[in-house]
Structure 1
Amino acid sequence: MVEEVPKSDEQKPVDLNKHRPVGSDGEEDEQLEEGEIVGGDVETLSSSSSSRPGTALTQHPLEHSWTFWFDSPAAKTKQVAWGSSLRPIYTFSTVEEFWSLYNNIPRPSKLATGTDFHCFKNKIKPKWEDPVCANGGKWTMTFTKSKSDIFWLYTLLAMLGEQFDHGDDICGAVVNVRGRQEKISLWTKNAANESAQLSLGKQWKEFLDHNENIGFMFHEDAKKHARNARNKYSL
C-alpha cells in the first residue's frame, strides 16, 4: 500500500481505507462506516458547495479521475431517448474527495426504485455508445433488496484503488436499484479478451467474498438481443 500514486510505470494499489476521514478528536469517525448518510442527497450534491470537497486536507491522488453519474427514475419517465436522463454529479481525483462525496451520497438501499447510479473513469460515459465502452461488456452480481450497500462500497474501493490486475480494462461500475433486487455491474472495454475478463471477474468475486455464480455479457449482444441476450463467460 502506498501513500500516493507512484510515478513509475508499474501500477500499484492505493489503500483508500487508510485515508478515511477522521473526527475532530483525531479518531477515525466510525459513524461514517457501514453506509450511513451524513447529509445531503444526490439531487443537491453537485450544487451544495462551490469548492471541491476535501480541499482542506492533504490530498492523496488516485491513479485516475472518476465521475459519479445519476439516472433517476423520475427523469426517465419524461425522456424519449435512452440515457438522455443520465447526468454527471461530480468528478473526483483524490482519496479525500472520494470519501467526502461517498459520505454524503445515499447508499443503494436508500435510493428510489428504478435508480441507476454509476462511477466511471472520467470522460467515459456509462453508455454502450461511448467509444471506450462500445466493444466492451459487463460482469453482474445480483443481490436481494437493500443488501448491496457494502458490496457497492467494496467494488468502489477495489476499482478506485487499482486492485485489479487488468484495471486498465475497467470502464466503471453501476448499481441498479429495482423493486425486488439490486444489481452491481462492472463494465469493461474489451469484451473479446477472454483471459482479461475472467481475471477481472475472479478478482471481483474474491474482493467481495461473493460465492454465487456471475455472468459476463457483451454490450453488443445486449443491444441486439435485449432480454434474450446470454452471458458469454461465467464464473
Structure 2
Amino acid sequence: MAVEDTLKPVVTEEANPNSTEKPIDRYHEEGDDAEEGEIVGGEGDGDVDESGKSAVPESHQLEHSWTFWFDNPSVKSKQTTWGSSLRSVFTFSTVEEFWSLYNNMRHPSKLAGGADFYCFKHNIEPKWEDPICANGGKWTMTFPKEKSDKCWLYTLLALIGEQFDHGDEICGAVVNIRGKQERISIWTKNASNEAAQVSIGKQWKEFLDYNNSIGFIIHEDAMKLDRNAKSAYTA
C-alpha cells in the first residue's frame, strides 16, 4: 500500500506547524485547491442530490494496526521491575485515526526528560522479552534536544505507510527523551538477517535525509553488555 495514496485525502498542515517544510506537502497534488469540508462535484452543472442522506467519509485502512505506548518517567523511577510502568495508549488501524491521534498528542520536543514513546505493530510489546522482539535488534539515530519532531513524524509515516522493502521485519519505533539528546530507534525481528537489517537502515536514512552513520545493536548484546554493546551493522 503506497503512503501517497492513503494519506493524501486526510492530511492537514497542523501535523507540524513549526516546520517551514510541511511533512505532508509531497502528498498534495497540484491544482487540488478544495478546502476542508468542501464538496467537489463532477463535470458540468449536474443536479444536486436532495435525498438528504449524509455522505459518510471514506476510511483508509492501514495494512497493519499499530499501538502507541508510553513509559512515564515519573512512574518509571519508582518501578521495581523494568517495563512495569509501560502502558499502551491507543491502537489505530486507519489513516484517519492516526492523524486524529498525532495532531492531539505531545510531540517529542514537549515530552518530559526520561520519557519513552513507542509506536509498535499491534500485539507486539516494546520489550526485549516479547517473543517477536527477542531475536531482533534496533537501528538508532540521535538528535539535539528538541530537534527530533519532524524525523519522528517521517519515521511514523514510513512505518504505517509500509515504505520499507523489508517491512515485515519491523516491530516498531521508539523516541527516547534524555537530558542532552533525543533518540529515535527502529526495532526489528531477526538480527541475524543482515541483508534485511542493512536495507532497513539505509532506507530509513534516505527517508529522513539523515547524513550521519547509524548502528544496529542486537538486543541480546544490549542485555549482556549494556552500553558496551557494539554495533553489529552500520549504515
Q: How high is the TM-score relative to the length of structure 1? A: 0.81
Compute the RMSD of aligned alpha carbons: 1.4
Alignment of 1:7-156 (within 5 A): 12-15=1-4, 16-21=6-11, 29-34=12-17, 57-156=57-156
Following superposition, the deviation at residue 35 of structure 1 comes to 6.4
**What are the superposed Cα offsets for residues 1-39 of structure 1, whole Å, 9 maximum, x if unpaired?**
xxxxxxxxxxx3233541334xxxxxxx43343469xxx
In structure 2, relative to structure 1, the CA distance for the partners of 1:59 and 1:20 (3 Å cut) is same
**SS of equivalent to 1:19:** coil
Give the equivalent residue in structure 2 for 1:5. none
Distance (Å, rounded) in 2 between the aligned partners of 1:230 and 1:19: 43
> Could you state the TM-score of these two structures normalised by the residue count of structure 2?
0.81
- Note if contact 1:34-1:150 (Cα within 8 Å) is conserved in structure 2: no
Taking the aligned partners of 2:187 and 2:18, their CA distance within structure 1 comes to: 23
| Cα pair 1:19 1:95 within 8 Å, conserved | no
Q: Secondary structure at the match of 2:8?
A: helix
- Structure 2 Cα separation of the partners of residues 20 and 184 of structure 1: 26
1:173-184 to 2 correspondences below 5 Å? 173-184=173-184
Letter in 1 for 2:136: G
Residue 126 of structure 1 aligns with an amino acid whose one-letter code is P
In the alignment, the residues of structure 1 paired with residue 184 and residue 170 of structure 2 have an alpha-carbon distance, to the nearest angstrom, of 14
Amino acid at match of 2:197: Q
Question: How far, CA to CA, are the matches of 2:165 and 2:214 in structure 1?
Answer: 19
Would you say 1:158 and 2:147 are equivalent positions? Answer: no
- Aligned partner letter, 1:184: I
Q: Distance in 2 between matches of 1:138 and 1:19?
A: 32
The answer (yes or no) to whether the contact 1:171–1:188 under 8 Å persists in 2 is yes
Partner of 1:223: 223
Say if 1:32 and 1:154 are closer, same or farther in 2 by CA, change over 3 A. Answer: closer
| CA displacement at 1:113 relative to structure 2 | 0.3
Look at both structures and tell me which one has the larger radius of gyration over its CA atoms.
Answer: 2
1:38-85 deviation per Cα after TM superposition (whole angstroms, max 9, x unaligned)? xxxxxxxxxxxxxxxxxx732100000000000010010221111000
CA separation in 2, counterparts of 1:202 and 1:221?
Answer: 22
The letter of the residue matching 1:33 is: N
Task: Call closer, same or farther: CA 1:81–1:207 in 2, change over 3 Å.
Answer: same
- Aligned-partner residue type, residue 109 of structure 2: S
Identical-pair percentage: 66
CA drift of 1:210 comes to: 0.4
Indicate the SS of the match to 1:57.
coil
- For these two proteins, the number of residue pairs brought into alignment is 198
Q: Which amino acid aligns with 2:205?
A: K
Gaps of 5+ in 2: 20-55
Paired letter, 1:13: A
Q: Whole-Å Cα distance in 2 between the matches of residues 68 and 35 of structure 1? A: 23
Question: Whole-Å Cα distance in 1 between the matches of residues 13 and 110 of structure 2?
Answer: 20
Indicate if the aligned counterparts of 1:154 and 1:208 stay in contact, CA closer than 8 A: yes
Tell me which amino acid in the other structure corresponds to 1:152: W
Cα distance between partner residues in 2 of 1:130 and 1:117: 17
**Is the Cα contact below 8 Å between 1:205 and 1:211 reproduced in 2?**
yes
Distance in 2 separating the partners of 1:128 and 1:204: 22
